[in-house]
């Protein structure tokens, strides 16, 4: 059996740090949005009496990714088979386009893509795997959902799918060719004051309303927020420079995604994004025009609710 999947990247339209757990993990409230920049997975499955998993990585980012058993896609495949007490021979080809260390969730999306492909092959419900996905990585559960927009809480694994208007803006992303270590960002992190958190969470409520009601992207602008910018921009000058470039080019609109290093801005249409990219002529970076990705509801996606929402 051969299965092909598209694995979309994500951006964070909003990200606030709301606390810190005793184990050192930070609690977040965030608004995830999937975009049409992504990787492509091909899985070749054959019956076997003993599990064998192999990986080939191709694509423009492929040289940066080790094709070994420690790759998250291999771990996801093995975890799925062990969870359901199955054996199979699986060869995975990963065509890699999402940069690493970029705040775009590429590795998490690829791991979820493997889980979804195996759910399709073995007729399993993806939402049975939320806890397993969270053990692979905090962002992996996000990509088990077909929804474009999801509110994330906890360490990002408590997810609430959100409906959105049919008309949505486009995006332009800049990856400044430097990865950012999420671990190092959170090591610098200080939990903000409670009144600051509450003020920002009220912005999130309004931002969700703007997304759902189809408000023009100019209405989104004052509500976009990422607390982690305070712990990346002063320390990683290429990210700061890329963000300033976008903000100067597009009326001050710009935000870092996740823990960086990708920054993005909102525009009216993908054509507008392409025109803006041409005007920027940004040579020390990768520039990606994009739109929000509207996923497919899978046949075995039987229950829209989640025990964590």
**CATH code at position 73:** 3.30.230.10
Q: Which residues are catalytic?
A: 10, 139
pLDDT of residue 69: 82
What is the C-alpha separation between 130 and 36, in angstroms, rounded? Answer: 23
Residue 42 lies in a domain: yes
Residue 74 lies in a domain: yes
Which of 134, 162, 190 is at the close of a domain?
Answer: 162
Contact 267, 290 (CB under 8 A): no
Contacts of 211 (CB under 8 A, 6+ apart): 13, 31, 149, 162, 164, 165, 168, 220
189 shares its domain with 274: yes
114 shares its domain with 221: no
140 shares its domain with 197: no
Average pLDDT along the chain: 92
13 shares its domain with 147: yes
Q: How far is CA 170 from CA 23, 200, 260, 268, 273, in A?
A: 38, 24, 20, 6, 7
16 shares its domain with 150: yes
20 shares its domain with 158: yes
Q: What are the pLDDT digits (tens) for 199-233? A: 999 999 999 999 999 999 999 999 999 999 999 99
By residue count, the chain amounts to: 309
Residue 36 lies in a domain: yes
Which of 106, 134, 162 is at the close of a domain?
Answer: 162
| Alpha-helix residue ranges (DSSP H) falling in the chain | 72-83, 106-122, 130-136, 182-188, 194-213, 217-220, 237-249, 270-280
- By residue range, what is the domain housing residue 184? 170-291
Using a pLDDT cut of 90, give the percent of the chain over it: 83
Residue 298 lies in a domain: no
Q: Does residue 271 surpass a pLDDT of 90? A: yes
What is the C-alpha separation between 261 and 101, in angstroms, rounded? Answer: 7
143 shares its domain with 277: no
150 shares its domain with 222: no
Q: What are phi and psi of 43, to 5 degrees?
A: -115, 130
Q: Does residue 303 surpass a pLDDT of 80? A: no
What is the C-alpha separation between 104 and 254, in angstroms, rounded? Answer: 15
Q: Does residue 296 surpass a pLDDT of 70? A: no
Report residue 308's pLDDT band, with 50, 70 and 90 as the boundaries.
very low
Contact 119, 298 (CB under 8 A): yes
Please compute the mean of the pLDDT values over residues 238-264 and round it to a whole number: 95
187 shares its domain with 115: no
What is the C-alpha separation between 246 and 67, in angstroms, rounded? Answer: 34
Q: How many domains does the chain have?
A: 2
Measured N-to-C along each axis, helices 106-122 and 72-83 cross at an angle, to the nearest 10 degrees, of 30
Q: Does residue 282 surpass a pLDDT of 80? A: no
What pTM value is reported for the model? Answer: 0.92
30 shares its domain with 122: yes
pLDDT of residue 66: 80
Q: Is 200 helix (H, G, I), strand (E, B) or coil?
A: helix
How far is the first Cα of the chain from the last one, in angstroms, to the nearest whole number?
34
Which range, of 25-29, 202-206, 222-226, 301-305, averages the lowest pLDDT?
A: 301-305
Q: Does residue 88 surpass a pLDDT of 80? A: yes
192 shares its domain with 79: no
């Amino acid at each position: 059996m051969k299965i092909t999947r598209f694995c979309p990247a994500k951006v964070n339209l909003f990200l606030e740090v709301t606390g810190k757990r005793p184990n050192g993990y930070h609690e977040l409230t965030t608004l995830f949005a999937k975009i049409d920049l992504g990787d492509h997975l091909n899985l070749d499955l054959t019956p076997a009496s003993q599990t064998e998993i192999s990986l080939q990585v191709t694509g423009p980012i492929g040289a940066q990714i080790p094709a070994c058993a420690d790759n998250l896609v291999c771990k996801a495949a093995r975890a799925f088979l062990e969870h359901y007490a199955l054996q199979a021979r699986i060869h995975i080809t990963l065509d890699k386009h999402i940069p690493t260390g970029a705040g775009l969730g590429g590795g998490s999306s690829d791991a979820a893509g493997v889980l979804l492909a195996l759910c399709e092959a073995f007729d399993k419900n993806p939402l049975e795997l939320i806890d397993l996905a969270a053990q692979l990585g905090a962002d992996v559960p996000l990509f088990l959902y077909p929804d474009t927009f999801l509110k994330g809480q906890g360490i990002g694994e408590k997810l609430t799918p959100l409906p959105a208007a049919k008309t949505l803006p486009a995006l332009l992303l800049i990856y400044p060719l430097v990865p950012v270590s999420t671990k190092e960002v959170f090591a610098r992190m200080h939990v903000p004051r409670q009144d600051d958190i509450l003020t920002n969470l009220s912005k999130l409520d309004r931002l969700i309303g703007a997304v759902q009601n189809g408000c023009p992207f100019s209405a989104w602008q004052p509500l976009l927020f990422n607390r982690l910018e305070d712990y990346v921009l002063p320390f990683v000058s290429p990210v700061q420079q890329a963000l300033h470039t976008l903000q100067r080019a597009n009326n001050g609109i710009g935000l870092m995604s996740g823990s960086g290093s990708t920054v993005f801005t909102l525009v009216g249409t993908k054509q507008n994004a392409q025109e803006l990219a041409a005007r920027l002529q940004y040579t020390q970076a990768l520039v990606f025009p994009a739109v929000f990705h509207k996923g497919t509801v899978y046949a075995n996606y039987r229950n829209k609710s989640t025990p964590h929402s």
